[in-house]
Amino acid sequence: MRYEIKGETLPVVLCYLDGGEKMITEKGSMSWMSPNMKMETTSNGGVGKAIGRMFAGESLFQNIYTAQGGPGMIAFASSFPGKIISYDIAPGRELVVQKSGFLASEAGVDLSVFFQKKIGAGLFGGEGFIMQRLSGQGTVFLEFDGHIVEYDLEPGQQIVVDTGYLAAMESTCHIDVKSVPGVKNMVFGGEGIFNTVISGPGHIWLQTMPLSNVAGEIARFIPSK
């Protein structure tokens, strides 16, 4: 599989497949494709994995596209202004990704539910108790909101992130929560009560324009009864 990512504000990834190669995506993610791409809707791993994906913010079913009779092409476009990145998943190179971050992947990539080890980290630590784990083998394409800033955290090195700004991290990283110090800061600071604390070692991706924040800003200008 060859690919190229085009566009700045609203990017698209074009995937060029050899005959018989497959791509996996969530429903509604395909933008355009060559006529010889065959689509099959499947639970892709049975009911258990399908329910796990649902809890992780994805749909119960996935679409598998196969190039038949020769080379094929399929495109997946971003659904929100931001960036599409690629990452090669392999044993020891698993990723943990925010809800709805998965765009498409080669057939060897497995998407499953990721539970935080501590309930506190899930209830208060930004993206929630459940995220997505990407494992297996193959290239995955992820869509994030706004601009992306990346950091390599050393063992024990930490970064404090406000709710929603964590886009993805390597599975070697650890998530915990930290309360905002001082009652006055909690009540009047406008930053909430808890922040997400990410500890290394590992690579992390932070996004500058979480969709949830954008929705909140728009809601302020919608007249209420």
Does residue 154 register a pLDDT over 70? yes
Contact of 29 with 9, CB cutoff 8 Å: no
pLDDT attached to residue 187: 45
Residue type, 15: C
Question: Looking at residue 216, what is its pLDDT?
Answer: 62
Q: How confident is the model at residue 191 (pLDDT cuts 50, 70, 90)?
A: low
| CA gyration radius, the chain | 19
SS percent in the chain: helix, strand, coil, step 5: 15, 50, 40
Average confidence (pLDDT) over 62-81: 95
CB 90 within 8 A of CB 109: no
- In this model, does residue 181 exceed pLDDT 80? no
Give the Cα separation of 174 and 45 in Å (integer). 27
**Whether residue 73 has pLDDT greater than 60:** yes
Sign of the CA dihedral running 193, 212, 9, 38: positive
pLDDT in tens, 13-52: 999 999 999 999 987 789 999 999 999 998 755 555 545 5
